[in-house]
Amino acid sequence: MSRHLTLGPGSEFDAVRDLLARWGPSAIGIGDDGAVLDVPAGSRLVVSTDSTVEEVHFKAAWLTPEEIGWRATTAALSDLAAMGAAPLGVLLALTVPARWRGSLGALAEGIGAAVSAQGAPIVGGDVTDGDRLALAITVLGHSRRPLSRAGARAGDTLYVTGALGGPGSALAAWMSGQVPGAAARARFAHPEARIAAGQWLAAHGATAAIDLSDGLAGDVAHIAHASGVRCLLTLDTVPCMEGVGISEAIVSGEEYELLVAAPAIDVRAFAAAHGGLALTAIGEVRAPAPGDGADVVAEQGGARVTLPRAHDHFAEAR
């Protein structure tokens, strides 16, 4: 049996045939009006969607088409990591202006590499014309006990995967007309979705998780508010990429590292299970002070410091 239905005639379907040829076994069951998927018995379906838009999330001059495809797909898959879910499939809605048509194959290569790295088959999608390149990517996953932002409890420790600051550092370089360093650029262009880490952490007692898309300083507040707790960050312990300072690292967005709350986790066992990926304790969860509500406080060198405001997509340009 073919892995796909036979598609009808026309240039749009020729383009889809070309995509399917590039994706090979990374795409399954394409060509019907909808995808039909099995969710393992006893598991919940976990769904998320994410958009990457030219001139909003990246400039064409910064990245190769392969990198644009990889990055957009990884950003979407990262939400499954934050939920502790295993991937079931990916749906792609691609808006491809005429000037990008010649790069569609290269974009598809990046998308295919990202889905195959996580064992998340492409199960459907749509390609349309438009004014700007845009990749709207829906990810489907499953978990018996999905993680949420809302489960952190007083007494938990806050942990973060990896080292922060690379994407923010690359972005700052580009925005000031400079060329970012290779390591920082790679963290922006080729992030990793911490899918295996998310499932491991869920299985080892994590109570809450979020993937870092807006920066640690802003994203920790989502856990604090969703869980109704106070989060204390000890900035001296936050792992920063080499050459990046703490004040830059905590506002660096699009990291796609995981921030989790959990009772004590064996960080050496975590690293051993994830090819040496670091898991670092960076703070603790406390009960909110009476009348004080949920919030985030930070300390550096033993002194209380104020965290910067988070990135807000709808805020006026600053």
Q: Which two structure tokens, joined as six digits, stand for 242?
A: 């080499």
Host H or E run for residue 283: strand 279-286
CB of 13 to Mg ion, least distance (A): 34
CB of 177 to Mg ion, least distance (A): 30
Query: Which are the contacts of 266, defined by CB distance < 8 A and separation ≥ 6?
Result: 204
Q: Which two structure tokens, joined as six digits, stand for 251?
A: 């506002």
Stretch that binds Mg ion, among 75-83, 85-93, 145-153, 171-179 (CB under 5 A): 75-83
For Mg ion, the closer of residues 48 and 95 by Cβ is 48
Total of residues contacting Mg ion (CB under 5 A):
2
Could you give the CA distance from residue 224 to residue 111 in angstroms, rounded to a whole number?
33
C-beta of residue 206 within 8 angstroms of C-beta of residue 260: yes
C-beta of residue 139 within 8 angstroms of C-beta of residue 80: yes
For Mg ion, the closer of residues 79 and 109 by Cβ is 79
CB of 163 to Mg ion, least distance (A): 19
CA dist 44 → 47, 49, 91, 187, 260 (Å): 10, 17, 18, 32, 20
For Mg ion, the closer of residues 66 and 79 by Cβ is 79
CB of 213 to Mg ion, least distance (A): 5
Which of 228, 208, 224 is CA-nearest to residue 290? 228
Contact between 50 and Mg ion per CB under 5 A: no
C-beta of residue 252 within 8 angstroms of C-beta of residue 165: yes
Binding mask 187-226 for Mg ion (x = CB under 5 A): ------------------------x---------------
Which of 79, 156, 192, 214: binder of Mg ion (CB under 5 A)?
79
For Mg ion, the closer of residues 16 and 76 by Cβ is 76
Host H or E run for residue 116: helix 104-117
Could you give the CA distance from residue 207 to residue 213 in angstroms, rounded to a whole number?
19
Task: Specify burial of residue 247 (Cβ count, 10 A radius: 0-12, 13-18, 19+).
Answer: middle
Stretch that binds Mg ion, among 77-85, 137-145, 185-193, 248-256 (CB under 5 A): 77-85
For Mg ion, the closer of residues 35 and 82 by Cβ is 82
What percent of the chain is helix, strand and coil (3-state, nearest 5)? 35, 25, 40
Stretch that binds Mg ion, among 13-21, 72-80, 84-92, 289-297 (CB under 5 A): 72-80
For Mg ion, the closer of residues 19 and 209 by Cβ is 209
CB of 269 to Mg ion, least distance (A): 25
CB of 124 to Mg ion, least distance (A): 22
For Mg ion, the closer of residues 109 and 255 by Cβ is 255
Could you give the CA distance from residue 69 to residue 19 in angstroms, rounded to a whole number?
13
CB of 148 to Mg ion, least distance (A): 12
CB of 211 to Mg ion, least distance (A): 4
C-beta of residue 192 within 8 angstroms of C-beta of residue 203: no
Stretch that binds Mg ion, among 13-21, 79-87, 129-137, 178-186 (CB under 5 A): 79-87
Residues near Mg ion (CB under 5 A) = 79, 211
